[in-house]
Amino acid sequence: MRVDVVSIFPEYLTPLDLSLIGRARARGVLRLAVHDLRTWTHDVHRTVDDTPYGGGPGMVMRPEPWGEALDALAPADAPTPRLLVPSPAGARFTQAMAHELAAEEHLLFACGRYEGIDQRVLDHAATRMPVTEVSLGDYVLFGGEVAVLVILEAVTRLLPGVLGNAGSLDEESHAHGLLEAPVYTKPPSWRGHEVPEILRSGDHGRIARWRRDEALRRTARRRPDMLAALGAELDKKDRAAL
């Protein structure tokens, strides 16, 4: 997958060199480039913002550098990327969206700052590529860079070959509309707290049932909205666990 990120703080994206994302880049699974928006400014102050039309507090990112950046990174004669614009007014980022993005060939992220990017940048981009405004949640950050780190981490771990054991993708929270059951490792007893006996029994059938029941109960307690969404998918044994 190819990924381009445009930001006025490219150094904010340096964690993308680390850990499993860094390894995915080193192996060529992820071809990622971070670009400084100011590359596409032409004045001595390398200006990217101006006061908002209509008045009000804060500054708005000017359209010209963004227009040039998108022209350079998504030229008309190349395959069209999907433009992702982090915004608290966007669609909520979910595991389902992470799967959707993991299937794309080329993602292009535009990181806003200040009061955001002049709307015409998005409107113009939408005439030639798919544009998605995406929100991490119902709160406001300083800029889109942290959102890009979160989204790329969720997407990269879904790319084939990135996780050592792809089976873990199938068992974790949000994989099948449930939260994952609690997990344990050695020692069997720690500060008076015991690992549930069943997990040490070696009985894989009972362990799988226990995990499913715990996942159901945990989801019911913490995220009743998720459980309600499963509705008819719950069978008799599932309902008995609740």
| Contact footprint for ligand SAM (CB under 6 A) | 86-89, 111-113, 115-116, 135-137, 139-144, 147
CA distance 19 to 137: 25
Residue 138 among known ligand-binding residues:
yes
Q: Which is nearer to ligand SAM, 37 or 147 (CB)?
A: 147
Give whichever of 88 and 196 is closer to ligand SAM, judged by the CB atom: 88
DSSP character string of 210-237: HHHHHHHHHHHHH-HHHHHHHGGG--HH
DSSP H or E run through 52: none
Q: How far is the CB of 58 from ligand SAM (least distance, A)?
A: 7
Is 227 marked as binding a ligand?
Answer: no
Q: Which is nearer to ligand SAM, 142 or 190 (CB)?
A: 142
- Please tell me whether 140 is known to bind a ligand: yes
| Alpha carbons 181 and 22: distance in angstroms, whole number | 29
Decide whether 121 or 178 has the Cβ nearer to ligand SAM.
121
Contacts for 235-242 with beta carbons within 8 Å, 24 or more apart? Answer: 237/209, 237/212, 238/212, 241/212, 241/213, 241/216, 241/217, 242/216, 242/217
Kindly state the helix (H) or strand (E) to which residue 101 belongs, with its residue range.
Answer: helix 95-102
Q: Which residue is nearest to ligand SAM (CB)?
A: 112
In angstroms, rounded to a whole number, what is the distance separating the alpha carbons of residues 121 and 125? 6
Minimum distance, C-beta of residue 88 to ligand SAM, in the bound complex (Å) = 4
71 is in an annotated binding site: no
Q: 112 among the known binding-site residues? A: yes
Output the smallest distance, CB 126 to ligand SAM, in A: 17
What's the min distance (Å) between Cβ of 3 and ligand SAM?
Answer: 16
Q: Is 36 annotated as a binding residue?
A: no
Q: Nearer Cβ to ligand SAM, position 150 or 198?
A: 150
Closest-CA residue to 36 (of 121, 134, 145, 162): 145
What is the distance between the alpha carbons of residues 128 and 141, in angstroms, rounded to a whole number?
28
CA geometry: angle 62, 151, 48, nearest 5 deg: 15
User: From the CB of 37, what's the least distance to ligand SAM, in Å?
Assistant: 12
Binding positions for S-adenosyl-L-methionine are 112, 136-141
Binding positions are 112, 136-141
